[in-house]
Chain A
Amino acid sequence: DTGVSQDPRHKITKRGQNVTFRCDPISEHNRLYWYRQTLGQGPEFLTYFQNEAQLEKSRLLSDRFSAERPKGSFSTLEIQRTEQGDSAMYLCASSLNGGTGSGANVLTFGAGSRLTVL
């Protein structure tokens, strides 16, 4: 296993277009997170999954954002009708165990997908 993979690494799009990012977590990890990071800021929580169930979605996330993890393995994050404010690095992370297990603290991050909206 080579860690968490994200694709594409960089996406340039025009305002109003839809984009989709894919994340392949570490295979035995049951929890998957999406974060957004802008320059000089820490990762901002977007949503997370326990297996295929989406357990929480940030209140800051508009309806233009949707995430899926259909079979509890890979996940996709789609942004519809992109805006310039969506330009950021989108980070995916996975972890083993949920609940009170200490493994839930050990997030393994991918290298991120950088979105530029023109």
Chain B
Amino acid sequence: QKEVEQDPGPLSVPEGAIVSLNCTYSNSAFQYFMWYRQYSRKGPELLMYTYSSGNKEDGRFTAQVDKSSKYISLFIRDSQPSDSATYLCAMRGSSASKIIFGSGTRLSIRP
């Protein structure tokens, strides 16, 4: 079993829709939770991160962490065609530790 599970999609929604992306994990030691976005033929880039449980909002993006359920989500409001990319959840424990990525969800926003 992988430490981090993510639905690979693909997910296709119309422009303006609210998008929900999710990951589950098994390692209770994870403390930091990140979302990266990867465009085709590019390296991933960080969208946002949260520490422990709770919500964090940044513009059209909201990240949620529920440590009791070992479940994290990323919501995208008013989705745009430029949001079409692969979204990767990632997480790590505290202290000096490696970052583990999910397999990524491919998202397509239809104009």
Contacts and interface: CB of A to CB of B under 8 A. Distances in A.
Interface string A33-46: 10100001111110
A111 B43 contact: yes
Nearest to A91: B43
A45 B42 contact: no
Contacts of B6: 42
Interface residues of A, number: 28
Interface in A41-98: 41-45, 48, 50, 55-56, 91, 93, 98
Interface residues on B, range: 20 to 34
A33 B8 contact: no
A45 B103 contact: no
A106 interface: yes
B101 A42 contact: yes
A89 to B, nearest CB: 9
Nearest to A47: B98
Nearest to A43: B101
Interface string B80-111: 00000000100010111011111110000000
B18 interface: no
B49 A109 contact: no
A93 B45 CA distance: 10
B46 A107 contact: yes
A40 B36 CA distance: 15
Given A100-B94, A105-B49, A45 B99 contact: yes
13 contacts: A40-B8, A40-B103, A42-B102, A43-B101, A44-B101, A45-B100, A100-B94, A105-B32, A106-B46, A107-B36, A107-B99, A109-B43, A109-B44
Given A42-B88, A43-B44, A111-B43, 15 more contacts: A42-B101, A42-B104, A43-B101, A45-B99, A45-B100, A56-B98, A91-B44, A93-B43, A99-B95, A102-B32, A105-B92, A108-B45, A109-B44, A109-B45, A111-B42
